[in-house]
Amino acid sequence: MKIDSKKTITEKQGYEAMLYMLKYYWELTGSNDLTDILSGGEYIKADTPADSAFWEYWLEAINKVEREGPLRKQFI
C-alpha cells in the first residue's frame, strides 16, 4: 500500500499520535521490543511501509488525537 497523503498536523499532534500508535501496537502484540515496532513501519520502497497496517494505525492515532486530545493515562 503506497502512502499518498497531503494532510499535515502540528508537531504536538504528531507526538501525541505517536503515543497512541505505540500504545495500540503494544496492546495488539504485547511487544516491548522497539525493533519489532520499527521493522513494520520502515519503508520497503518509496512511501510503502513494510507492514501496510502501520499506516492505518497511524491514521487512527491522528484521528484519536483530533477527537480525544492527548493520551491521558499510563500504558505501562
Other residues' Cβ atoms within 10 Å of the Cβ of residue 57: 20
Is 55 part of any domain?
yes
Is 2 part of any domain?
no
Is 3 part of any domain?
no
Report the alpha-carbon distance of residue 45 to residue 1 in Å, rounded. 10
Is 74 part of any domain?
no
Is 76 part of any domain?
no
23-67 pLDDT, tens digit per residue, is 888 888 888 787 877 788 888 888 888 888 888 888 888 888 889
Give residue 42's domain range: 11-68
Report the alpha-carbon distance of residue 21 to residue 36 in Å, rounded. 13
pTM for the predicted model, two decimal places? 0.67
